[in-house]
């Protein structure tokens, strides 16, 4: 089995914002605990939210890889919790050019020509172009422009995001109530 991970520039490109968010979130937390004890009920949850806003995308990106074996190609998310697999015999690939803020960039899409399974890659920005070209060479089926690629596990990812929001709100409410009873 061959495992493909993003290139070095991909890590810099994709982890810059999450790293800044984690640093700012930690600064909010440490500032609140050192100088603003009265505002701790507001600043601590806000700092935790900013840390999580950076940590979740970082974990998502660090846990993403492409696996190629003789039978299928899989894009693995969140360190293996979610996997989009497409049999090589049914793999269709397409590269299109997209535009944003006056610049062009390639956008590679892969889908199962006969069923569920799809994923996207950004060559040059995140993934090495040579790796994306290797996947495109494996894609023997023609791209169906009329079809709408369907992911296998889109609902799982949505559920995990909603669960994270519920946990954060619950912790925020619990911490705010505990600060109110401690102040009384």
pLDDT in tens, 89-110: 999 999 998 888 888 888 999 9
Question: How would residue 36 be classed by pLDDT, with cut points 50, 70 and 90?
Answer: low
Contact 141, 91 (CB under 8 A): yes
Are 76 and 82 a contacting pair, CB within 8 Å?
A: yes
pLDDT at 23 over 90: yes
Question: 88 and 73 in contact (C-beta within 8 Å)?
Answer: yes
The 10s digit of each residue's pLDDT in 133-150 is: 999 999 989 888 877 777
Q: Give the separation between CA 16 and CA 173, rounded to whole angstroms.
A: 31
Domain boundaries, the chain: 2-61+158-183, 66-152
d(CA 115, CA 10): 30
Nearest to 52 by CA among 138, 149, 161: 161
**H or E element that contains 120:** strand 118-121
| pLDDT of 66 | 96
Please name which of 127, 154, 166, 160 lies closest in space to residue 56, comparing C-alpha atoms. Answer: 160
Tally of CA atoms within 13 A in the half-sphere of 14 that contains its CB: 24
Do 85 and 152 contact (CB within 8 A), yes or no? yes
CB atoms within 10 A of CB 143: 17
User: Which run of H or E residues covers position 112?
Assistant: strand 103-112
The residue behind tokens 């600064």 is 27
Stated pTM of the model: 0.74
């Amino acid at each position: 089995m061959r495992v493909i991970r993003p290139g070095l520039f991909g890590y810099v490109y994709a982890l810059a914002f999450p790293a800044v968010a984690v640093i700012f979130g930690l600064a909010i937390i440490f500032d609140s605990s050192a100088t603003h004890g009265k505002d701790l009920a507001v600043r601590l949850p806000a700092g935790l939210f900013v840390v999580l806003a950076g940590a979740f995308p970082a974990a998502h990106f660090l846990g993403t890889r492409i696996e190629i074996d003789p039978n299928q190609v899989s894009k693995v998310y969140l360190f293996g919790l979610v996997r989009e697999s497409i049999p090589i015999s049914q793999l269709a690939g397409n590269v299109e050019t997209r535009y944003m803020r006056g610049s062009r960039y390639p956008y590679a899409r892969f889908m199962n020509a006969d069923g569920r399974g799809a994923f996207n890659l950004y060559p040059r920005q995140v993934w090495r172009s040579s790796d994306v070209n290797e996947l495109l060479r494996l894609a023997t089926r023609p791209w169906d422009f009329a079809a709408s690629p369907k992911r296998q596990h889109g609902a799982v990812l949505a559920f995990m995001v909603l669960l994270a929001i519920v946990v954060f709100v619950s912790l925020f409410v619990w911490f705010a109530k505990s600060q109110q009873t401690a102040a009384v």
